[in-house]
Each structure stands twice: as structure tokens, then as C-alpha cells.
Amino acid sequence: MHNNGDEFNADDVVFTIGEWLNEDVGSSILGMLGAYLKPEGIERVDDYTVKLHLEKPEILVPEHLFHYPALVLNHRTFEGDFIKAPHGTGPYTLEEYSEGERVLLKRRDDYWQTGADGEPLPYLDQMEFVDMGQETSAWIAAIKAGEVDYLDVGDIVSPDLYLALKDDPNVMLQNSPTAVTRVLRMRVDLDPWTDENVRMALKLCQDHEKILNLAYFGEGLPGQDFHVSPIHPDYCEMPIPLYDPEKAKQLLADAGYPDGLDVELAVGSGWGDIVSYAEVLKEDAAAGGFNITLNTMPNSQYWELWTEVDLGITPWTHRPMGTWVLNLAYTADEEGNPVPWNETRWVDEEFSELLTKANGTLDVEERRKIMCDLQRIQYERGSIGIPYWMNIWMPHRTNVKNLKAHPTMYALFNEVWKEA
């Protein structure tokens, strides 16, 4: 049941998936579902059953339906803005929403689920989310003082938080290894990044272990310049690339830059580890012939430009399988245009063909063999550097109970309670 009393049924599902597949909407989910599902493939079987007729085999359907933008809408009330008609099936109702200030959620008395104790969920009467800006010092002070109970660090995973809170007896850091990362992304449709030699040269200027230790205090795993993590079940084991400024300098010369290259790197100032990563890269890349100027801006401004800048460092959240993010960020649509979240505009025919094959390969060991080729191609010809994979923490006061860390940093509060 939706929180306004409307019945949740197949019509909501059919409507919502249709919106995802509508190119005019511009949903990021289109880059995933659109590769194997067309609007005419959505079948309403009865009031409570929907059948999807896929264009080709796809192992990620369940995970795609759990993607964080994949909110199923009330087809009777949705008119383009969920805030104006916040009708969903979750355990809370949206009572107040003031962008950039606060959100107030209140408990539903008619929620369907019960807890392990047999009591109706959710346990909390209400939750208030307060926007405290991008400066982590304010966040740290608030939770230390007990002014807030929990920090939603989904967009601001910061080593400052970890260092400040790890020894506080009143704060618990729920920890989880993840495929969260920072992507050094180069737009291949803009000079000088159209040249594979230039892209490889910059990647060779990364000392992955050093960057992980200095930017994130070693709290994670070093990356390998392809967007597949060691925690993914279909990961193909490969060596960590070595820092090689001499080879980088030679590649720049081969590309027509014998005297080096001046570039500007865009970063969001609120991501402390990204700023540290950029500073280390700036210093270490000088030996490889790169003169990097850092263009530091507020996170909100970076998100306005993240697909437009020619060189930047973008935060990417966790996805549970290696093929997912590759489809989301490194493919094209049927017309050959990069999908909405392909921020680098990199599309490779061989890579795309192998990825399509991997998408339909259920056996994880067989899929791993394909992933070996995908990872190699993305490393050799791709448009990104991956410095490290991040452990994440969900900080909360110790009197908040049953809050579990999720690698995607989903805030699941239906079974959480608070002791006095």
C-alpha cells in the first residue's frame, strides 16, 4: 500500500519502468535496462505480476532493480516531481522537505513489515535529516556533542571523519569494504585526451599504494585503472600498475609533447581524499612531463560540471558486480551515443561486444575469463585511472542500535531503534 492509501500494484511497476526507458526523462537507469529491455517488452500479467521480455540474456536484472534511483512511483499521483507527491511504500512518510536545509520523515502506522520481536516496524517515530554543508568539521562536532545521532556520509566519505571518530567511545563506525572509488576521468572527445598515449602517460604517473596511504590512510585496496574491484565476484586478478614517470614522459613525446603538457584537473573541495589524491598526482606527474593545475571547487559545482570537464576526479559509488558499472559508464546507446553517465565519452567496439557477452554469462568462472579481457582493454585503451577502492564507515552514536553498514551506503532504518 502506498502511504496515501492507494494500492501498490502492477500498474505502478509498468509505469515506472516505462519512465526509466523514456529517453526524454534522461534516467541513468536507461543506460542499464535500455541495453536489454524495450518498452514493448514490459507485460502486465495481472494486478500483481509483471513479466519482462528481455532482448538478450542479462544477469544483473535483480541488482538493477535495487539501484538507488530505482524508486517505484505511484502512477496515479506522479506528475514529474516526487517531492510534490511523495507517495511510496516505505516505512516512513515525507512530512517536510526543504532543499539544502532539512527533511522530516515520520513513522507509518500501517507499514506491512514486522520485526524479529513480532512488533510492527519501523521502530523509530521520526527521523530528521539536516544539511550541514560540506565541511566535515561541523559534522564531526555535531556527532561528538550528541547533537545528531548518525552521519549520512554517502556523498562525503572522508578520512577526516575516520581519524576524528575512530577512538571516540560514544561513536561507532560501522565498516564495510566496497567498490566505492575515485575515478580519474579523461574525456576522449577533447584534446589532448583523444590520444591513448597521453591517457596512458597520466595513468603511469599514479603510485597507487602511495596514493591510497596518503589520501585514505590505507583504508582500502589499491586500484588498477579499470573499473572492476577485487571484491566483485567476477574480478580477474591482475598486477597493480607501477609508477613509471620515464615511460610517461616518452609516451608524451610520442604523442607530440616532447616538452611536457599543461593540464587542468577539476576536483571537489569537500572530498578530502580526492583533494589529497590530486595533490599527490600533481607532484608525482611532474616527473612524467605533466604540469597539473588544480581547479578546486565546491562539490555542488563539480556535480554541475562532472560530465563536461575534460579532466576531473569523480566519486563513484559501489556496485555489486563488475559488469554493472561497465555498462553504466563505458558504453553507448543504440545510436552509438555515449550513455548518460559515460562521462569520458569512451566507447570501444571490442570492449562493448565482450561486455554484452559477459552480461549474458551466468557462470561466474566463465564470466571471469571475459572480464580478464575487459579489464585489459580498459587498462590499455581506456579513459580512466582508478587509484584505490575504499572502505566506508557509517558513523552513529552508540545508543543507535541495529544500524548495519551497507556497501552502497543505503540508509536502511526500518529495523533501527534508539536507546535513551
Sequence-distant (6+) residues with CB within 8 A of 127 are 92, 104, 105, 413
Classify domain 178-390 at the CATH superfamily level.
Dipeptide-binding Protein; Domain 3 (3.10.105.10)
pLDDT for position 155: 66
C-alpha–C-alpha distance, residues 18 and 339, integer Å: 17
The DSSP string of 362-408 is: -SHHHHHHHHHHHHHHHHHH-SEE--EEEEEEEEEETTEES----TT
C-alpha cell at 337: 551515443
The answer to whether residues 392 and 179 touch, using CB atoms and an 8 Å cutoff, is: no
The answer to whether residues 289 and 257 touch, using CB atoms and an 8 Å cutoff, is: yes
pLDDT for position 315: 95
C-alpha–C-alpha distance, residues 323 and 169, integer Å: 40
Identical fold, 1-89 and 178-390 = no
C-alpha cell at 294: 588544480
Class of domain 1-89: alpha beta
Neighbouring C-beta atoms of residue 105, cutoff 10 Å? 22
DSSP 82: G
Domain boundaries, the chain: 1-89, 178-390
For the chain, how are helix, strand and coil distributed in percent, rounded to 5? 30, 20, 50
At 312, phi and psi to the nearest 5? -160, 175
DSSP 114: B
Plot region of 190 (φ>0 → left; ψ -120 to 50 → alpha; else → beta): beta
Question: How far does CA 94 lie from the centroid of its chain?
Answer: 25
C-alpha–C-alpha distance, residues 209 and 222, integer Å: 6
Q: Per residue of the chain (420 residues), what is the pLDDT tens digit?
A: 999 999 999 999 999 999 999 999 988 888 778 889 999 999 999 999 999 999 988 898 998 898 888 999 999 999 999 999 999 999 999 999 999 999 999 999 999 999 999 999 999 999 999 999 878 899 999 999 999 999 998 766 677 788 899 999 999 998 889 999 999 999 999 999 999 999 999 999 999 999 999 999 999 999 999 999 999 999 999 999 999 999 999 999 999 999 999 999 999 998 989 999 999 999 999 999 999 999 999 999 999 999 999 999 999 989 999 998 999 899 998 889 998 899 999 999 999 999 999 999 999 999 999 999 999 999 999 999 999 999 988 999 999 999 988 888 788 899 999 998
pLDDT for position 357: 95
C-alpha cell at 378: 580498459
